[in-house]
Amino acid sequence: MPAPQRTRPVHTLTVTRTEWITPHMVRVWAGGPGLAAVADNGFTDNYVKLLFFPDGRPEGPLDAAELRASGNLVTRTYTIRHRTPDELAIDFVHHGDTGLAGPWAAAVRPGEEFSFMGPGGAYRPDDSADWHLFAGDAAALPAIGAAIESLPAHAVGVAFLEVDDSAEEQKFVTEAAVDIRWVAPGTLVDAVREYPLPAGRGHAFVHGETGAVKQLRSVLADVDQLSISGYWRRGMAEPEFQAAKRTDPV
Ligand SMILES: Cc1cc2nc3c(=O)[nH]c(=O)nc-3n(C[C@H](O)[C@H](O)[C@H](O)COP(=O)(O)OP(=O)(O)OC[C@H]3O[C@@H](n4cnc5c(N)ncnc54)[C@H](O)[C@@H]3O)c2cc1C
């Protein structure tokens, strides 16, 4: 008999505003009465599973396990980039007209509702590390940005961030000494490989396209603490990517 699906609470928020923070990154702000029940778990890689309904959004309360069983549920995973008492913000890479979540975020308007499960999370920069290293592409910028902005002033680190071009570069608000290195498409792995790791105990956070992340796992094998996984995979929509991850974990 198949194991029963765990029912996770579903949260529903209302979009309050959207802003294009770069030509290919749209920030969706949302709030409303549902926000209070969205736990703040203290992780900087807080992620949620956004719900999409191929057969249309059902009336009434949403039961994820029931919807999944009926086939009327697909999910996409996104990081909570900011949280204030009244709103949270999620940054979406708009990678063209393909996919569900990217086009949804580009088109959504204030007043529309959306739902998600979560948040989950597993990483927060370790205050006691001697140095920090961040590596990722645009999909990881929300989590890397949140991590950099959480660092205390005495922290030191380096961030290798792969974006399409200089228009996609973002600013992070931090007093920590983080050397931000924007790198061109396809050069993330080499940029990290060429970096001599400092002495002392390091904490690294490495996420993005699976092919690059797989290579970075061996490049960074000597780092003491490593949070590393693929966030997406070229040529695969998220359900296919998540299924592949179960048999071939990154
Ligand atoms: C824990 C976690 C946190 C994440 N946080 C964020 C986040 O905050 N912001 C964010 O933008 N993404 C984030 N991602 C990645 C995001 O879940 C995937 O990019 C997802 O596939 C996008 O869904 P979609 O419906 O737009 O495209 P899909 O329907 O999943 O894919 C359609 C096509 O687009 C391609 N594609 C998917 N993502 C990208 C991309 N980033 N660039 C170029 N091509 C792509 C796929 O390979 C596929 O060919 C996160 C992933 C994980 C696991």
**76 pocket-lining for ligand 1 (C-beta < 6 Å):** yes
What is the distance of C-alpha 11 from the center of its chain? Answer: 18
Residue 137 backbone dihedrals phi, psi, to 5 degrees: -110, -165
The residue among 136, 172, 133, 132 whose CA lies nearest residue 155 is 132
What are the strands of the beta sheet with 156-162, ordered from one edge? 177-183, 156-162, 131-137, 202-209, 225-232
Encoded tokens for 101: 């979540």
**147 pocket-lining for ligand 1 (C-beta < 6 Å):** no
Select from 77, 94, 168 the residue to mutate for testing ligand 1; criterion: most ligand atoms less than 8 Å from CB: 77
**78 pocket-lining for ligand 1 (C-beta < 6 Å):** yes
Which residues have C-beta within 8 Å of that of residue 26, sequence separation ≥ 6? 18, 19, 20, 91, 92, 94, 105, 106
pLDDT of residue 6: 54
CA pair distance 83, 86, nearest whole angstrom:
8
Q: How close is the Cα of 154 to the center of ligand 1, in Å?
A: 33
Q: How close is the Cα of 60 to the center of ligand 1, in Å?
A: 28
pLDDT of residue 75: 96
CA pair distance 124, 118, nearest whole angstrom:
17
Enumerate domains of the chain plus CATH numbers. Answer: 10-120 (2.40.30.10), 131-247 (3.40.50.80)
E strands, 23-101, are 25-31, 47-52, 74-83, 87-93
pLDDT of residue 154: 97
Q: How close is the Cα of 129 to the center of ligand 1, in Å?
A: 30
pLDDT of residue 250: 79
What burial class does residue 196 get, using C-beta atoms within 10 Å of its C-beta: 0-12 exposed, 13-18 middle, 19+ buried? exposed
Encoded tokens for 119: 């948040």
What DSSP state is assigned to residue 99? S
Q: Which residue has the tokens 């959306």?
A: 114
In the chain, which residues have pLDDT < 70?
1-7
**159 pocket-lining for ligand 1 (C-beta < 6 Å):** no
**209 pocket-lining for ligand 1 (C-beta < 6 Å):** no
